[in-house]
Amino acid sequence: MEHEEYRENPVDDLKERVLELAKRRGFLWPSYEIYGGVAGLWDYGPLGTLLKQKVENAWREIFVVGEGALPIDTPTISVEEVFLASGHLSNFVDLIVECVNCHVTLRADHVVNDYLRGRGIAADLCAPDIAEACVPSREKTQELIDFYGITCPDCGGPLGEVHDFNLMFATHIGPGTQRKGYLRPETAQGIFSDFPKLLRFFRDRLPFGVAQIGKSFRNEISPRQGVIRLREFTQAEIEVFVNPDKKSIHPRFDEVADVEIEILSKDFVGRATVKAACDRGIIAHQYLAYYVARSQEFFLRVGVHESQLRFRQHLPDEMAHYAVDCWDAEGLTQHGWIELAGIADRTDFDLKQHERQSGLQMTVFVPYAKPESVERTVVRPKMDFLGPKYKNKAKQVADYLATISDPIGPFIFEGQEIDPLGYVIETATQSVLGDFITPHVIEPSFGIDRTVYTILEHAYDEDTIDGERRIVLRLPRGLAPIEVAVFSLVKALNEKAVEVFQLLRAEGFLVEYDDSGTIGRRYRRHDEIGTPFAITIDHETVENGTVTVRDRDTTKQIRRPIASLAATLREMLERGFTVSSL
């Protein structure tokens, strides 16, 4: 990669230096610092916001424009029914334990793991070398605390009982009704809740993809790893709805077949093309493999180093409750391997659950090539019973029963079991035109904040220029928050420099004019925020209308006429030309 080859000096305390730079230069700030701050909540300063927006735009280019996954935007507050259906109310838990003495609340599995690791006991509750902690059983964790007599790591006091702690933030919607609500822990459920409308929008045809980017919330127990584990964070998710019989063939697989990825799975460790991974059954099918490859394309485009990116398959006991195969894109940072994205086959789990909870059909009619005569087990509604029992809802109940393709009761309508006297299950010969199927969902889900942090770590470098130490952020050029800096060599040229600054701003560049300090200091200031090009107005500018263009990475300079400056910069920013190649 263009930005990778320059890294000169790996530093030991990289994560501290990156965070120091990020705070000092307005990329990342702890939120509410004037009130002491809150773990897990971080602000993006001006430069961080610009960088984050560019990362999100790269994601849009690849997945919204390139894949046609059209975006929707649903509320961050969701009603309780959504999470009853999705399973988050019962399953989205971590284990906590409270110290009886100092009353600190701790993540129970972390306490046990730290204790065992500290004593060299190889009894990790989860698989070794994984970025995300999986959730071990409550019983197992309690057993280990009791067996080893593990005490509070803070005060040495005894620990209480291990409990489940649901990670969702609960709220009430409106003052009077006290309708329960939750801040969404993933953007995906907003998409699933809209499935019937989305299906109509996409003219009842599979496959189609829907994208959503926005805030998600998780009440993490003790988010200590800086900006890695947040309580409010941005997710960029795509839900691709696909016919389950067609998952093995992705129509555009040829475009990515030769993409090489670094794989860590139970059956294979090493580099392989996504085609080989698919053919050898390492990745379950082409749809997953396709999105693994596109995810890599996204990460490389935004500056994650290829040598520090891998795809790790979830172990069966680590998989989310809804997934059958899941791959994490992990970036290597000084915090270790961190999960940047999860690419999962969620099967029909969510749609089936929402169908049960809402009583609304979440299926797609898939026509056969020609009508078929088939014997079927069907559910026949009995209107003479349903009418008096369900009154004005009777037709809706009957319609729902008539569409059931998998007639194993009980059948739930609007959260209530339908009275079995209201239908019969029987065998019938039918001429059928097609089938109602529940689509499967392939989901690439990206954590934007962790991606931004990883980009900062991978871009951070220090080198020596003219005997002086400098920090340089070797961001991909198109991603830099400020694209061009404009300086004047001497005060007398300030006016001309402002003119060039305004010209470039009018051309649409993110440009900053800087006339304070020596020219060397101005270069350094922009090197450390990753500004790829610095324009200097000097005496020659007045004579022949040219300026110098300095390249952040090599510090080489070329002269260019002001008249063609915008075109030169655009070529270097967008088409990857370097100062040396022009």
Question: Is the separation of the CB atoms in 316 and 415 below 8 Å?
Answer: no
Question: Is the separation of the CB atoms in 211 and 236 below 8 Å?
Answer: yes
Instruction: Output the CA angle 550-556-558, nearest 5 degrees.
Output: 65
Residue 43 contacts ligand GAP per CB under 6 A? no
Candidate list 108, 230, 549, 579; residue touching ligand GAP; CB under 6 A: 230
CB count within 10 Å of CB 31 equals: 16
Q: Write down the least CB distance from residue 186 to ligand GAP, Å.
A: 4
Give whichever of 221 and 480 is closer to ligand GAP, judged by the CB atom.
Answer: 221
Polymer length in residues for the chain: 582
Residue 445 contacts ligand GAP per CB under 6 A? yes
Binding segment for ligand GAP (CB under 6 A), chosen from 311-319, 446-454, 500-508, 553-561, is 446-454
Q: Write down the least CB distance from residue 128 to ligand GAP, Å.
A: 19
Total chain residues near ligand GAP (CB under 6 A): 18
Closest CA to 209 of 219, 221, 198, 223: 198
Token output for 66:
């390139």
Q: Write down the least CB distance from residue 445 to ligand GAP, Å.
A: 4
CA distance 514 to 91: 53
Backbone angles phi, psi at 78, to 5 degrees: -120, 155
Q: Write down the least CB distance from residue 223 to ligand GAP, Å.
A: 7
Give whichever of 91 and 243 is closer to ligand GAP, judged by the CB atom.
Answer: 91
Token output for 372:
């078929």
Give whichever of 43 and 507 is closer to ligand GAP, judged by the CB atom.
Answer: 43
Candidate list 56, 94, 109, 220; residue touching ligand GAP; CB under 6 A: 220
Q: Write down the least CB distance from residue 323 to ligand GAP, Å.
A: 9
Closest CA to 302 of 448, 445, 132: 448
Residue 303 contacts ligand GAP per CB under 6 A? no
Q: Write down the least CB distance from residue 242 to ligand GAP, Å.
A: 17
CA distance 566 to 378: 68
Residue closest to ligand GAP (Cβ): 447
Site string for ligand GAP, 320-359 (x = CB under 6 A): -------------------xxxx-----------------
Residue 513 contacts ligand GAP per CB under 6 A? no
Candidate list 354, 450, 474, 477; residue touching ligand GAP; CB under 6 A: 450
DSSP letters for 27-43: SEEETTGGGT--TT-EE
State CA 561 to chain mean position distance: 43
Q: Write down the least CB distance from residue 231 to ligand GAP, Å.
A: 7
Tally of helices (H runs) and strands (E runs) in the chain = 18, 28
Give whichever of 235 and 265 is closer to ligand GAP, judged by the CB atom.
Answer: 235
Residue 188 contacts ligand GAP per CB under 6 A? yes
Residue 110 contacts ligand GAP per CB under 6 A? no
CA distance 445 to 339: 11
Residue 218 contacts ligand GAP per CB under 6 A? yes
Residue 55 contacts ligand GAP per CB under 6 A? no
Query: If 0-12 CB within 10 Å is exposed, 13-18 middle and 19+ buried, where does residue 52 land?
Result: buried
Give whichever of 194 and 507 is closer to ligand GAP, judged by the CB atom.
Answer: 194
Candidate list 303, 331, 359, 447; residue touching ligand GAP; CB under 6 A: 447
Backbone angles phi, psi at 525, to 5 degrees: -60, -40
Query: If 0-12 CB within 10 Å is exposed, 13-18 middle and 19+ buried, where does residue 234 land?
Result: buried
Q: Which 234-253 residues touch ligand GAP, going by CB under 6 A?
A: 235, 237
Q: Write down the least CB distance from residue 12 to ligand GAP, Å.
A: 25
Q: How far apart are the first and last CA of the chain?
A: 19
Which residues contact residue 146 at a Cβ distance below 8 angstroms, ignoring those fewer than 6 apart? none
Q: Write down the least CB distance from residue 454 to ligand GAP, Å.
A: 10
Q: Write down the least CB distance from residue 46 to ligand GAP, Å.
A: 21
DSSP letters for 521-562: HHHHHHHTTT--EEEEE-HHHHHHSEEEEEETTT--EEEEEG
Q: Write down the least CB distance from residue 153 to ligand GAP, Å.
A: 22
Residue 233 contacts ligand GAP per CB under 6 A? yes
Candidate list 56, 98, 109, 186; residue touching ligand GAP; CB under 6 A: 186
Give whichever of 443 and 461 is closer to ligand GAP, judged by the CB atom.
Answer: 443
Residue 131 contacts ligand GAP per CB under 6 A? no
Q: Write down the least CB distance from residue 167 to ligand GAP, Å.
A: 8
CA distance 40 to 47: 20
3-class secondary-structure state, position 382: coil
What residues make contact with ligand GAP under the rule CB under 6 A? 186, 188, 218, 220, 229-230, 233, 235, 237, 339-342, 443, 445, 447, 449-450
